[in-house]
Structure 1
Amino acid sequence: MQSGGARRARVLTAARRHLSATLATLALLATVAALSGCGGPGGGHGGEAGSAAEADRTRSSVVDPTRIPDVAERLQRRIPAESRQVVAVYGDGRDSADSTVVLYTKRGSTWDRTRSWPAHNGKKGWTTDHREGDKRSPIGVFTLTDAGGVLADPGAGLPYTRSADFAAPRWWARSHWHDFDYVIAIDYNRVKGTPPNDPTRPEGDAKGGSIWLHMDHGSGTSACVSLSKTAMEYLLRTLDPNRHPVVVMGDRADLEAY
């Protein structure tokens, strides 16, 4: 038989081992709790902030399909309720001649992105108060009702007027000679239902006019928006007066502000 002293030694040894295991467990739990407080799994203030930030990112990435993207409420309201086609011109900057044209088609209550092309606008950019000769394109929403050009009708949906009178003057640089082979009139300071080159300006000459979608020559325009021949042919064949097409145009910052 073991003596009383030996038994006491064995009991003390077992107790020490149990205490060590308990302390190790408590230390592990404290470490887990500290990690949770820094935003790890399990909650804490850090976890809540992370979830809120993620929710904000998710909300900002959602695009409302019933609206034209990156266009503020004031201009959205100017798009006629019956419009089913929108040509959106997104200028790179207020003083930039570079832009992107996107065609949106409305199906039910949803605007679908149909096609897009690189484009140019006024040499000096954009303005909310266009004046004759300022080399800036007007910001706003305008109807598209008439087309024409030097070349034969490519199958346009809009009324198309073919005339040599559209031809650019031969004293212009050669790169500009084909600018008006195809044009679509932007209804800014003009009479709807007339050829694009009709000179009538209801708001007066000082407000400018003859602002068109036309063929591109590789740089900025006097105030028009210019696209490739392929893009112009596509728009001419696609824009349908029964869908009441409009153009929404401006630099990105102003489109988002208005």
Structure 2
Amino acid sequence: MSDSTAIHSTAQVDPGAVIGAGVRIGAYSVIGAEVEIGDGTVIGPHVVIEGPTRIGRDNRIAQFASLGGDPQDKKFAGERTELVIGDRNLIREFTTINRGTGDGGGITRLGDDNWVLAYVHIAHDCQIGNRVVFSNYSALAGHVEIGDWTILSGYSGVHQFCKVGAHAFIGMGCLVGHDVPPFVMMANEQQGRPRGINSEGLKRRGFDATRIAAIKRAYRTLYMAGLSLPEAREKLAEQARESADVLAMLEFLDHSERSLAR
């Protein structure tokens, strides 16, 4: 533990925890055994982190967050599982992120540079990419995969085992029960439906007009041309020869294990 580390006198840190340089831990926080906290991470007051959990560097974890707790799965029998959190994440008040399960791969993973806002829940075995925004009260059931740059609006939810592709946008209050391809925007309905592509988000991330036009064309092929899914795949394969983004959509479809949101 470095001399630059600051741990409040009321915090409880297990002797087996590994605390990096420049870490700050607030009042009444509890850091359990087999917890690793990377350099420069700041933990607010009243935070509970249970292990095995590995947290990277320069994260900001607000008060009353609960990380690394047992999975909420009746099949969990106390087997050793983990939570792995990357670098530079913002995790706000009352967020809960559970460890994985033995049957689900054993690891819940949160990547880098994510914004996880107040009251978010990320369940066991979820795999989260980078630069994802979880708005207040959004929630993931177990075994969900979320691609890079996805935005989940407030009060949205994703059903267990669903996959959401990169750059997707899930609208406020939308409940996702199917796989959502990359770039697709889901409407704010209880049973979400595709409603175009996330064009505004793509513009903000530097996608030029040519790339966005190719994605729009692929969306029309998949959702508006009246084609069956096998027919749409054939058309997308042709379009993917000229667009890496369309190829990403096609590869997502090829690896989708649940029914597709259509």
TM-score under structure 1 length normalisation = 0.25
More helix by share: 1
Using CA pairs below 8 Å that are at least 6 residues apart, which structure has the higher relative contact order? Answer: 1
Bigger Rg, which one:
1
TM-score under structure 2 length normalisation = 0.25
